[in-house]
């Protein structure tokens, strides 16, 4: 039996960032299924398996969430607090991936339960290197809890 690759969820609303992140994932050799969730409410619905995401065969729970802080309908901070407040998702690894390097955002993200805080780098090569680091640790070395 071949083990299925863990699903990666990307909570991002900026089409340009989505494009570049998808390209960087491919260039970094990440072949995990990717789910794009463009707002905080869709992150909630996906993780709860509600509405369009009720079919867990088509929409399996992710093993890793890449979370932008500036999302519509619910901020990344609100999403993170919601995730950590639920027993079903409390152990989901969440990497904040944002353009903000403000100390208050870093501090608030960790206080809300982020596993890591990364600033989106400028330049395609730097982004690919960052994605490789995520791949190497979070997708290859990390052991996932079953949600």
Q: Does residue 22 fall inside a structural domain?
A: yes
The whole-model pTM stands at: 0.93
In a domain, 69, yes or no: yes
Q: Closest Cα partner for 93 from 107, 85, 83, 101?
A: 83
Q: What is the pLDDT of residue 5?
A: 84
pLDDT tens profile 92-143: 999 999 998 899 999 999 999 999 999 999 999 999 999 999 999 999 888 8
**CATH number of the CATH domain containing 81:** 3.40.50.2300
pLDDT tens digit string along 60-88? Answer: 999 999 999 999 999 999 999 999 999 99
Look at residue 131 and tell me if it is in a domain.
no
**Phi, then psi, of 8 in degrees rounded to 5:** -110, 130
In our burial notation (b when 16+ CB lie closer than 10 A, e otherwise), range 50-64 reads: eeebeeeeebbbbbb
- The CB density around residue 133, as the number of other CB atoms within 10 Å, is 13
Tell me, yes or no, whether 67 lies in a domain. yes
What's the domain count of the chain?
1
In a domain, 135, yes or no: no
Q: Whole domain around residue 106: which residue ranges? A: 8-121
pLDDT above 50 (res 2):
no
**Residue 15 falls inside a structural domain:** yes
pLDDT of res. 147? 61
Which candidate, 94, 97, 99, 66, places its Cα nearest to that of 82? Answer: 94
CA quadruple 97, 101, 104, 106: dihedral, nearest 10? 40
CB atoms < 10 A from the CB of 42, how many? 23
Say whether pLDDT at 1 is over 60: no
In a domain, 110, yes or no: yes
């Amino acid at each position: 039996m071949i083990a299925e690759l863990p699903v990666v969820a990307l909570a991002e609303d900026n089409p340009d960032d989505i494009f570049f992140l998808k390209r960087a994932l491919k260039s970094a050799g990440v072949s995990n299924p990717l789910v794009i969730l463009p707002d905080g409410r869709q992150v909630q619905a996906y993780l709860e398996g509600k509405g369009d995401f009720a079919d867990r065969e088509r929409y399996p729970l992710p093993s890793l969430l890449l979370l932008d802080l500036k999302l519509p309908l619910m901020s990344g901070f609100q999403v993170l607090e919601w995730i950590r407040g639920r027993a079903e998702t409390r152990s989901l690894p969440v990497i904040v991936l944002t353009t903000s390097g403000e100390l208050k955002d870093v501090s608030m993200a960790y206080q809300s339960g982020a596993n890591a805080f990364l600033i989106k780098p400028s330049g395609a090569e730097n982004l690919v290197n960052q994605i490789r680091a995520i791949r190497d640790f979070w997708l290859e070395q990390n052991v996932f809890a079953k949600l």
